Amino acid sequence: MKKIELEIVAISHTATQSQNYALVLGETEGVRRLPIVIGSFEAQSIAVAMERIAPPRPLTHDLMCNMLNTFKIELKEVIISNLLDGVFYASLVCQQGGELTEIDSRTSDALALAVRFGCPIYSYEFILEAAGVVLETPGEKDEERQRRPRKKSSTLSEIDLEKLKKMLEDVLKAENYERAAQIRDEISRREGD
């Protein structure tokens, strides 16, 4: 099955469920959004990681990262792999010593780890068909949306350093701090070489 890459677009408080939050994932090369209801602890953990805030003591997801790093286990990707009775299921794809292993995870925990590791998040077409939504701009018709150019997929490592610096300025202006952190890390990695 072909994997579809997603990125975290927003986290917001839900009006209907006071203790929960809606985490919205968006296609990196499309217009569909995948809203997922998560608990307040997980929302806080994801927000803290996205904003690069260092808590005085490690949160549970920070502890998990520390353990994985200590035992030289790399989180390669997160896959939102299934949707049953309104519940999303996810897997952590980890690598240790060249061997890949999939670990079952709650979706919110998997996403909290993905943010910390900066690894890609994927799902499948059938999940986006079942639970995804398309956000149209006012007055936009289906045929206009389908003709709209899609973002070209490229990894940050393939982009020229000067273009990365320009991208960083653009995403900061757009207040996309998660993407800005990813770009900043790539620039720092290169300039540190």
Point out which residues pair with 88 in neighbouring strands: 83
Give the tens place of pLDDT for each residue, 95-105.
999 999 999 99
Question: Residue 136: what pLDDT?
Answer: 61
Assigned fold of 3-152: Bifunctional nuclease domain (3.10.690)
Pick from 20-24, 89-93, 163-167: least confident: 163-167
Q: What percent of the chain has pLDDT over 90?
A: 60
> Which tens digit of pLDDT belongs to each residue from 133-168?
987 654 545 554 444 444 333 467 777 788 878 877
Residue ranges, CATH 3.10.690.10, the chain:
3-152
Assessment of whether the complete model's pTM goes beyond 0.95? no
Q: How confident is the model at residue 176 (pLDDT cuts 50, 70, 90)?
A: low
> How far is it, in rounded angstroms, from Cα 88 to Cα 94?
20
Average pLDDT over residues 158-183: 74
Return the DSSP state at 71: T
Look at residue 193 in the predicted model and tell me its pLDDT.
58
Enter the tokens of residue 27.
């296609």
Euclidean distance between CA atoms 79 and 5, whole angstroms: 9
Pairing mode of beta strands 20-27, 32-39: antiparallel
> Which DSSP helix (H) or strand (E) runs through 10?
strand 3-13
